[in-house]
Amino acid sequence: MRRRLAYAAFVAVLAGANLLAFRNNVTADLTPDRRFTLQSESVEVARRLPRATTATVYLPASSRLGREAKLLLERYEAASGALRYSFVDPTSRPGALLEQGVTPGQAVLQAGDRRVVVEAVTEQDVTSGMLRLIRERERIVCFSTGHGERTLDDPGPGGLTGIAAALRAAGYAAVALPAGSLASGRPPDCDVLVAAGATTPFTEQEAAVVRDLLSAEGKVFVLVDGAATGPSDALTSPWGVRVPQGLVIDPVQSLQRDALSPVVDRYPSFNPVVASLRAATVWPQTAGLDPGGPDEYGGGLVPDRGGLYVSPLAVSSPSSWLESGGGAGFQEGADRRGPVLVAAAVDASEVGDRERRVPSERPRVIRERLLVFGTVNLAANAFVDLLGNARLVLDGFAWLAQDEDLIGLVAKPVSPSAIALTAARRRSIVWWTVFLPASLALGAAGFAWALRRR
């Protein structure tokens, strides 16, 4: 009886130790990029999650990506206390993808009737998604109309139904402003104003409203129509980014050898819009931008504009040029040699001593932001799903509309160490890792057997 009690006590001690460790878990992240350690911004956002928030990941839980996602979500769960996560295997339940309007690898965050789709289970995406989920109100993205802009309800190749759906999935409301409404003043409730491919000029009154908006904590996204850059230029020039006439030509690095559709994979900026972007992007019929700043691509502080800072986000390849006139091929003197800037971000709040703070419970930085892309086609239905286009456009909106909490959140690069595998190395790997250890073990066994026989 005493022995049974002793065993029972031993088992109870083991169970208690597990319970204690479970409730007070301590982890040591040995990864070089500390991939499984949440940044303070993420912990802060996770703590603000409402009760019964769920994260549903559309990946097989046993896959490598699924396991990594689980480790990351465990950290959020521990930081939050309000989050519960689960996995749905897209291969065994393809209907769930259709029902939720998601693709494999995406995740859905839900709290009550609020729902946000997260592109991938990375810290940056999940924290960003959580922030959208806990916002007091939905962010509203307003698209201007009446100047030949692309429209949100046009399902054709040049329309924007694809990006409108992506915006809704990401937790934004995309609305079209009635034509002419800009002239009557700053549109109420608009967090971001978008001019998507204007081909006819804004009236002086409308342009003044946009200028006023940008001067008063406004966020504006200008997507240029490469064939008619004038209307966009009028909006962006006062903010240090000119959009000259002409298209970027790249006969070498382009989509299906169409020189008018450059493929861009150079993002010379730490700006959050491109900081986590690893994919190339396609820029059909894109204009070149001219920010006229001090660094290699024209970025940096704009002289005589106070705290205005222009970040060069994306540049075309060195084989490209900005075609400014007629004629086939590059014309020395007339055309501008590449790389050509095709996307720029203007921020009027980055320089520390020029930050303006408003009284509130927490100091809050006022940010005025303008994002300029050389082509609206990047976001059009025909191209938005190519390579990293959708990701870039959505990250652009996120940067424009984001709460301050995410500004310091840095994307953690996943950089697996690669082995250059030659045929000789493949053979060596098999010899060294299959035959050598087994031979050593067998040799030892044979030696022992021989010893025993003697």
By the rule CB under 8 A, 366 interacts with another protein: no
Amino acid symbol at 335: D
| Shortest Å distance, C-beta 183 to another protein | 56
Q: Which is nearer to another protein, 51 or 425 (CB)?
A: 425
By the rule CB under 8 A, 351 interacts with another protein: no
The residue written with tokens 């006819």 in the block is 200
Q: Which is nearer to another protein, 74 or 403 (CB)?
A: 74
Query: What is the contact mask toward another protein in residues 2 to 31, using x (rule: CB under 8 A)?
Result: -x---x--xx--xx-xx-xxx-xxxxxxxx
- Please give the Cα distance from 367 to 355 (Å, whole number): 9
The residue written with tokens 């009886």 in the block is 1
| Shortest Å distance, C-beta 128 to another protein | 22
Here the tokens at position 450 are 């021989």
By the rule CB under 8 A, 448 interacts with another protein: yes
| Shortest Å distance, C-beta 13 to another protein | 9
Q: Which is nearer to another protein, 7 or 357 (CB)?
A: 7
Q: Are 65 and 90 in contact (CB under 8 A)?
A: no
Q: Which is nearer to another protein, 337 or 431 (CB)?
A: 431
Coil, strand or helix: which one is 282?
strand
Mark the segment that binds another protein (CB under 8 A) among 95-103, 146-154, 200-208, 415-423: 415-423
- Please give the Cα distance from 54 to 52 (Å, whole number): 6
Residue count of the chain, please give it: 454
Mark the segment that binds another protein (CB under 8 A) among 167-175, 261-269, 336-344, 434-442: 434-442
Member of 256, 358, 419, 454 binding another protein (CB under 8 A): 419
Short-list 62, 65, 60, CA closest to 94: 60
Interface size with another protein, residues (CB under 8 A)? 57
- Please give the Cα distance from 204 to 209 (Å, whole number): 9
Q: Could you tell me if residue 441 is left (phi over 0), alpha (psi between -120 and 50 degrees) or otherwise beta?
A: alpha
Q: Which is nearer to another protein, 103 or 439 (CB)?
A: 439
DSSP letter, residue 290 = B
Member of 52, 216, 351, 436 binding another protein (CB under 8 A): 436
Member of 95, 113, 417, 454 binding another protein (CB under 8 A): 417
For strand 53-57 and strand 83-87, is the pairing parallel, antiparallel, or unpaired?
A: parallel
Q: Could you tell me if residue 394 is left (phi over 0), alpha (psi between -120 and 50 degrees) or otherwise beta?
A: alpha
- Return the residues of window 48-77 that contact another protein according to CB under 8 A: 64, 67-68, 70-71
For strand 369-373 and strand 219-223, is the pairing parallel, antiparallel, or unpaired?
A: parallel
Short-list 248, 245, 250, CA closest to 227: 245
Mark the segment that binds another protein (CB under 8 A) among 50-58, 230-238, 316-324, 411-419: 411-419
Q: Give the binding site for another protein (CB under 8 A).
A: 3, 7, 10-11, 14-15, 17-18, 20-22, 24-32, 35-36, 64, 67-68, 70-71, 84, 416-421, 425-426, 428-430, 432-442, 444-446, 448-449, 451-452
